[in-house]
Structure 1
Amino acid sequence: MSYDDRVLFSATTNALSHFADLVNAIAVTNSTMEVLVTPRGLMFKTTERGVFEISTLLEPGFFKNFDLITTDQPIRVFLDMDSFIESVNLANTMAAASESSGETVQCTFSYHHIGDPFIVTFEDDQILERVEFMIISDTGLENEDSTDSAITGENQGDYFQIDPSRLCLDMMLDSAMLYGILKDLKEVKTEQIYLYCAIEDDNPRVVFVSKGEVGYSRMTLPNINNALKEMAIYRDERPTTEDSVSTFYSFESFSKILRTASLATTIKFKIDTDGRTVMSLLITNTKSSITTVIEFKVLQTSDLNHDASMINNTFMTRLVSKEQKVSTSRHSNTAGTQLETLVNVERAQHRRTESGQDLPLFL
């Protein structure tokens, strides 16, 4: 058989319901769905260019069989996301009906030649459905004329990648707790979300601060139910207990993690001093007992009204201070902690000099 007669890639799995959960969780943009095939597995990814990306890697062990013809470069194609998600969800509904009668639906992904459609086949004892997805161009991809050139570099333009030598925060949270906090902050119409992490009196402290229509609010991660599983802060590549780390994000972008957080059990944060943030969410499917990771990468946004430093940020230190005045406080049923509305934040940001000049305090 000649090289041209062979299928470049084929993989089959019985874990269709788990796969459906994963791709629905990462379908949070209006962009295309990127599919990347390497010896490490099959990756699905969506991206909001220059803001965030979310992906899941299905390793070869996820599949009954995983066959990839060795090439110099990975296979990389782009699909219409709405069509892909619709087909997967319809097949998953069919699979649920088949399982009730004792049958199992197999899902096979295949790609024959460069320029051919990406094929997904759903099959049980009664039905075989083959769906061909045309390869489309990704207009937001720099330095790519067309995805007809489906074999390309794996790490091209990966500006979301953490720099290990500049790591400043490494922590692990209970995902349900984070989900509850983000739900509450969404209800108060949060526009910017700030994250503060420190070790105070030998105890780790994590605070989420909201900036929105009602001003500033905050929620402190409670020290219950193993909410904070581990935390380490670094400065100049060395662990420290003397310094705090603060990061600033657009809530619209950061909250894209909500759907994934509702499925996950644990979430691991890694943040470097350039504000690059990687959240790895561990998801276990109850039906198949298969565990998979969804990775969410987001960039910090600048808030020009405040000191932009991440280490020992004075503005954030005051916002999270226990001496900071609070106008209202209510208990969150979803997060198990208090949502506190802060007062006198804006007025305290400036001081008057002897000459009468109004200067920002925290610049």
Structure 2
Amino acid sequence: MGTFVASTVHLEHFTTALNCLTPFGLKDDVLIYIDRDGLSFVRENNHVIKIQLLLSKELFTSYQYPDEEEFGDERVDADGDLQSCMKLCVKINHLLDSVNIMSKNVDDIVECTLTYDGHGSPFILIFEDSFIEERVEYSTLLFNDFDSNVNGLQLAKDEIVFECIIKGDTLYNALKELKEIGCKQCYLYAKTSETGHESVFAIIAKSDLGFSKIILPNNRSIIEKLEIYKGDSTTLLYDTPVVGFFDFNSIDKIRLSVKIASKVLFRMDAQQVLSVNILSQTEDVLVSKPRNDPATNNTTVKQPQLPRDYPGIVIEICMFAKEALDSLAQQDIELLMETTNTKKNREINYISSRTTMEDKPFAPNHNAETHSESDTDEELHITNSVPLFF
């Protein structure tokens, strides 16, 4: 088997990407696929949520993939075809610590070279600047516990029931707010109208404070696309709400990924599998600037810009719903949302730089509790730039 070798000087960007994996288990193993397109990092938690992060080969100044037909490993690519690849497992925190430490060098540009010789060989990182070279070797493990879709943790693309594209920083602020109020369970609510003026995408949160609604502004600069389907991914439905019920611990795992997103694509299928696709423009994630020496406060080294043809960090997260809602629970959630609509859509038509959060003394039939009542609005810091992905 040949040797894989790739080099990059964009260590800060590399660190930013690896940090998105940490909510899925900082000290756990991450499965790395290496193929002709780049490096994919895969991690699964308890067979209910999985993240796959791609760093494309354009991030690397050199990328040498072995010219061999068979490597003993295969994976299904985006087109559904089998593709030969190299596969290994390392600890997330080991990899992140090494890259993070070297990325803090303010005096020089550090080049990182990754090498791997195949089964049984270590995964090697070589860091080199103008004065010194450091070599780190990681023992590699290989197991097939979470690198397959036998447990059904995969979106059925021909059974989509709703699809929504949301601006990343707006969604991040909403998730951060839910975290701060101690959200434990949440509902994703989507409903469209034929005219589009009364379309709604909301997150209903259950916490010790009661039930809260965060309704994202119905504005194309915030919600670029919102469509409800009959379950076949093509036939549009109007005035028919779709509700997904999720454990907030699972939803919160996407927050660090959403933080770097230009746009976020939500899709849910008829089996209540939710797919979250995250694309990030390079200027939104990290644009390297001249660093300042903390001692002298003078600019020392100008770090290289990310390549123009680099598509950015690409992430897909799939998760199962907590449970399927019965008809009574579905009706209760719809009733809660109707209390918003009867207020002449005050929350939905809020200015584009804000979302709304509203606590209601409401308890769905499947979980009767006593809740408090309060109304609050929180300012969100939204940039004026309109992302171009999707």
Q: Tell me the TM-score normalised to structure 1 length.
A: 0.79
Q: Are residues 89 and 137 of structure 1, via their aligned partners in 2, closer, same or farther at CA, if it must alter by over 3 Å?
A: same
CA shift digits 1:128-154 (9 cap, x unpaired): 11110111355x817xxxxxxxxxxx7
- The alpha carbon displacement at 1:181 in A equals 0.9
Among 229, 233, 243, which residue is 1:246 paired with? 243
Among 7, 10, 28, which residue is 1:12 paired with? 7
Q: Are residues 53 and 300 of structure 1, via their aligned partners in 2, closer, same or farther at CA, if it must alter by over 3 Å?
A: same
Q: Check the 8 A contact 1:10/1:67 in 2, yes or no.
A: yes
Q: Are residues 118 and 308 of structure 1, via their aligned partners in 2, closer, same or farther at CA, if it must alter by over 3 Å?
A: farther
Q: Check the 8 A contact 2:21/2:92 in 1, yes or no.
A: no
Asked if 1:342 is matched to 2:346, the reply is no
Matches within 5 A, 1:1-363: 6-7=2-3, 9-30=4-25, 31-69=28-66, 70=68, 71-72=70-71, 73=73, 74-94=85-105, 96-98=106-108, 104-136=109-141, 141=145, 155=148, 157=150, 159-200=152-193, 202-203=196-197, 204-224=199-219, 226-237=221-232, 238-283=235-280, 284=282, 285-287=286-288, 288-289=305-306, 290=310, 291-302=312-323, 306-307=326-327, 313-322=330-339, 336-346=354-364
Instruction: Tell me the distance in 2 between the aligned counterparts of 1:54 and 1:228.
Output: 23
CA shift digits 1:72-128 (9 cap, x unpaired): 42221111222111111111112x432xxxxx2222111113101111111222221
Structural RMSD (CA): 3.0
- The alpha carbon displacement at 1:335 in A equals 7.3
- Matching residue of 1:356: none
Q: Check the 8 A contact 1:178/1:335 in 2, yes or no.
A: no
Instruction: Tell me the distance in 2 between the aligned counterparts of 1:277 and 1:348.
Output: 22
Q: Check the 8 A contact 2:90/2:141 in 1, yes or no.
A: yes
- The alpha carbon displacement at 1:32 in A equals 1.0
CA shift digits 1:38-62 (9 cap, x unpaired): 2232111222131212221122222
Percent identity between the two aligned chains: 22
- The alpha carbon displacement at 1:182 in A equals 1.0
Unaligned runs of at least 5 residues, structure 2: 74-84, 289-304, 369-390
Q: Check the 8 A contact 2:336/2:362 in 1, yes or no.
A: no
Instruction: Tell me the distance in 2 between the aligned counterparts of 1:44 and 1:120.
Output: 16
The size of the alignment, in residue pairs, is 320
Q: Are residues 25 and 41 of structure 1, via their aligned partners in 2, closer, same or farther at CA, if it must alter by over 3 Å?
A: same
Unaligned runs of at least 5 residues, structure 1: 99-103, 143-153, 351-363
Q: Are residues 97 and 26 of structure 1, via their aligned partners in 2, closer, same or farther at CA, if it must alter by over 3 Å?
A: farther
Q: Tell me the TM-score normalised to structure 2 length.
A: 0.74
Q: Are residues 133 and 171 of structure 1, via their aligned partners in 2, closer, same or farther at CA, if it must alter by over 3 Å?
A: same
Instruction: Tell me the distance in 1 between the aligned counterparts of 2:20 and 2:287.
Output: 16
Higher strand share: 1
